[in-house]
Structure 1
Amino acid sequence: MATLAENPPRARKQSWLKRHMPKTLFGRALAIFLTPLILMQAISTFVFYDRHWDTMVRRLATSLAGEVAMLVTEVEEDPSPVALARIDRKARLNLGLVVTYRAGAILENRTGDPLFDPTLRQMRRSMEEHVRRPFNVDPDAGERQIAIEVQLPGGVLEVLAHEKRLYSSTTYIFVMWMLGSALILFAIALIFMRNQIRPIRRLAIAARAFGLGREVPEFKPEGAKEVRQAAEAFQQMRARIRRQIKQRTDMLSGVSHDLRTPLTRMKLQLAMLGDDTAVRELQADVQDMERMVEGYLAFARGEGTEATVTTDIKSLLGDFAMGERRGGMPLELEMTDAPIPPLELKPQSVKRALANLVSNARRHAKTVRITLQATEDAFEIFVDDDGPGIPEEDRGRVFKPFYRGDPSRNPETGGTGLGLTIARDIVHSHGGEIGLEEAPLGGLRVRIRIPV
């Protein structure tokens, strides 16, 4: 039970620490450097004030209070004007103090002294120990003077001392040295860490661009040994992926040529056999084979070699909708008014994915609508229709190659089963996501989300 009671506070503490920790590597590196630096400065300050400062102030206050006590004794023994002049002369010459005696005066009961000042507190304690008479200490007597008034039986003795007799400049020198050295160390660490983290940031940008299907310029591995190894591994991985894609594309181009040649010969031979039922059935089979081969090659080329170009997504959707309408197919288009910056896309591939989605929607619905929306870090394209939709349990399977919801395998009603697969591959090649939902029109909604 004790363990159960202690776990929630610990979990809350870890959660608070995670929320307030810097999110970037640069911020965390700075925190790792600044934390011991701040602790060191705090410990140094504590030791200075607790040891050196306290000892120094106590000695200064004790020395000044002792001199005041001596002057009090001298004045009490002989308060005559001649003696006072002699005491003042000796105090100015040997102690740097100005002595004034006001005969018959009464010490004012002052309030509001800055007792929060540790130096004045120590001075009061020293005066109480050495003088043992009513007194006032005024640190603002003017011209950097401290006024000490002591009540004597015949009047008030006033002693003026320079503030350096009680306050030491070593405090400010120590603070300035401490802050100055901390700022210099911080600036050096800032420059060093920026230089070390720049290669990591460059590698992250290149990896993200490659994941989004964009062109990644060559960069030289820099930084620490581990960072250079990671950059070299990324470049090797990128080269292997590109080589595999090229090999696959070249292989499929050869397959396309090899398959089309015998299919063409079969079509010519069937055309010479006449026009009976068996020949027509064989011709239909050959056409199905051609359609399937073209569909498979189109799917395989979905990874494609099209280069990314800077594209305005609104113009792309407008051109696509205009082309569909020119073909006699009604298509609704709604686009957000929010500005969307130009993006690095493969425009023909995106149009091809949209064409597959719109073609599938038209096959089962009367109304098809494309909607463009934008968020802070991505844009979304919705393809909605008013058809019968797809059962939720089948939505994960329709993206599989050659999967068809129509069990009859009739290409006129169900296609080759590669439309959604090609669209998915194109979206994934841009680093995006695609999914199926219920449409506001009552049918199926295809949601495409591509980061900017």
Structure 2
Amino acid sequence: MMFRLRDITPRGLYARSMLMVITPVVLILSLMTWYYYDSHIAEVNRKLAQSIARDASLIQAYCDRREDSPSVHRTIDERLDLTFTCKSPEQALASSSYLDRFAYSSTLDNELETRLGVPVETALNPRDSMLHLRFASGPRTVEIIVERKRVFVANAHIFIVWVILFSLFMIALAIAFLNQQVRSILRLSKAARAFGRGRDAPDFRPSGANEVREAARAVIDMKNRLTAFTEQRTAMLAGVSHDLRTPLTRLKLALAMMEETDDIRAARSDLDDMSMMLDEYLTFARGEEGDEASDLDLSELVREAAAGFGPHIIVNGPDEIAVNGRPLAIKRAVSNLISNAMKFATDVQITLVDGPHAADIHVDDNGPGIPPERREDAFRPFMRLDEARTQNTPGTGLGLTLARDTARAHGGDLRLSDSPLGGLRASLRLPH
């Protein structure tokens, strides 16, 4: 399996942006710290060690003369700003019994041994942080007491503190900036989701970076165009349906006055089918107007729709499912699914499933069903599938189309599959 970076990186924009900001900051500051200690601090400590080694060499030369001169001794102490003694090994051992071995003296030890040519012991006095150097000089032992800060950089930890504080400041600044940008994107996503479900977002205003603002304006413009198109389509459908009712009524009156024959009965049947189609068109047009989204009990709505087809329609599932949507549109979509199933089956059952993110309405029948390769065609307007549906069956061919439009307008979908009853299952999903 090929390695892909996206498999180990976060999925969210906020997490990815944080990773893009924090990673370079931490990497750069880590490299700076490493370079500071590996190059600068190490070089400074080496120079300090060389300076102490030169002073120790001078003291070694003085002690090798075996002639103690108080004035010279005092002059060396003052000029070198340190304290030294030339003692016997027994005296030196007794005076340094309380000292701790200094753990960070490798650089100093190397410089002292290189300069003096003898092993040097380094120890730290824990009481006053004074560094003690002890080495042999002929029969005597030389002990030098010097301030620790003259040998090593003692305040290097301050640099680490500043690096950490600066890193935290940069990360806090990045988080504040990213919060503002991501918040604008989340507002846009929420508004687009509301627009997609046919709802308004009155409090939404373009904000954030110029690119996000431009995307927000494009979404608002798209929403306005779709709204205008939907209103125009609904008005046209309502107008056409209403205008056709007048000549249709005249034809019915004319046929009623004619002698009853087989042709007249067939013509009346055709007019009844046309009248039913117009009623469905008008119902659809009226349903799009004034049906505002609201919180509703989907279980109660489905049971009401099923009750309109008779008590033999069984509804299984929870007694209460809370969703938000347009009640008339959802009830019409469920009624279309039940009506479509009853046209071609003798047994119709409805199952409600309340999931964590969406609610499902399964309408099952024991009819002839639809072949899998033709199921998508069933959603095309005015499409009649002759293999599964008889041509004599009345209908407009809009039931599944309108039901899917309703589901998708609410952010869900409508899918067809095999039913446990042997026929077709229509599954309408609505998000919570």
The bucket for the TM-score relative to the shorter chain is 0.7 to 0.9
Identity %: 33
1:320-372 per-residue CA deviation (whole Å, 9 max, x = no partner) reads 225524753333334369x97x5431222222212221222233032413131
Residues 381 and 98 of structure 1: CA distance in aligned 2, closer, same or farther (over 3 Å): farther
| 1:49 and 2:12 are equivalent in the alignment | no
Give 1:252-263 correspondences, 5 Å limit. 252-263=237-248
| 1:95 and 2:56 are equivalent in the alignment | no
Contact 2:298 2:323 (8 Å CA) reproduced: no
Contact 2:136 2:142 (8 Å CA) reproduced: yes
User: In structure 1, what is the equivalent of residue 219 of structure 2?
Assistant: 234
Give 1:294-443 correspondences, 5 Å limit. 294-298=279-283, 306-311=291-296, 315-321=297-303, 324-325=306-307, 328-335=310-317, 342-363=322-343, 364-375=345-356, 377-406=357-386, 408-411=390-393, 414-443=394-423
Query: Residue 426 of structure 1: CA displacement?
Result: 0.9
Query: Residue 125 of structure 1: CA displacement?
Result: 1.0
User: How far apart in 2 are the matches of 1:166 and 1:213?
Assistant: 76
Contact 1:213 1:430 (8 Å CA) reproduced: yes
- Secondary structure of the residue aligned to 2:377 is coil
Query: Residue 188 of structure 1: CA displacement?
Result: 2.8
Contact 1:306 1:346 (8 Å CA) reproduced: yes
User: How far apart in 1 are the matches of 2:376 and 2:397?
Assistant: 14
- Secondary structure of the residue aligned to 1:383 is strand
Residues 113 and 432 of structure 1: CA distance in aligned 2, closer, same or farther (over 3 Å): farther
- Secondary structure of the residue aligned to 1:253 is helix
Residues 421 and 63 of structure 1: CA distance in aligned 2, closer, same or farther (over 3 Å): same
Residues 372 and 159 of structure 1: CA distance in aligned 2, closer, same or farther (over 3 Å): same
Contact 1:92 1:98 (8 Å CA) reproduced: no
Higher mean C-alpha deviation, range 226-235 or range 91-100: 91-100
How many residue pairs end up in the alignment? 425
Query: Residue 239 of structure 1: CA displacement?
Result: 0.9
Contact 2:352 2:359 (8 Å CA) reproduced: no
- Secondary structure of the residue aligned to 1:287 is helix
Contact 1:371 1:383 (8 Å CA) reproduced: no
Q: Report the TM-score when normalising by structure 2.
A: 0.84
Root-mean-square deviation over aligned CA pairs: 3.5
Contact 2:121 2:135 (8 Å CA) reproduced: yes
Higher mean C-alpha deviation, range 389-398 or range 88-97: 88-97
User: How far apart in 1 are the matches of 2:410 and 2:101?
Assistant: 73
User: How far apart in 1 are the matches of 2:294 and 2:138?
Assistant: 99
1:185-214 per-residue CA deviation (whole Å, 9 max, x = no partner) reads 333333233333432332222112222333
User: In structure 2, what is the equivalent of residue 4 of structure 1?
Assistant: none
User: In structure 2, what is the equivalent of residue 60 of structure 1?
Assistant: 48
Q: Which runs of 5+ in 2 are unaligned?
A: none
- Secondary structure of the residue aligned to 1:290 is helix
Contact 2:338 2:348 (8 Å CA) reproduced: no
Query: Residue 155 of structure 1: CA displacement?
Result: 5.2
User: How far apart in 2 are the matches of 1:185 and 1:129?
Assistant: 46
- Secondary structure of the residue aligned to 1:440 is coil
Amino acid at match of 2:43: T
User: In structure 2, what is the equivalent of residue 3 of structure 1?
Assistant: none
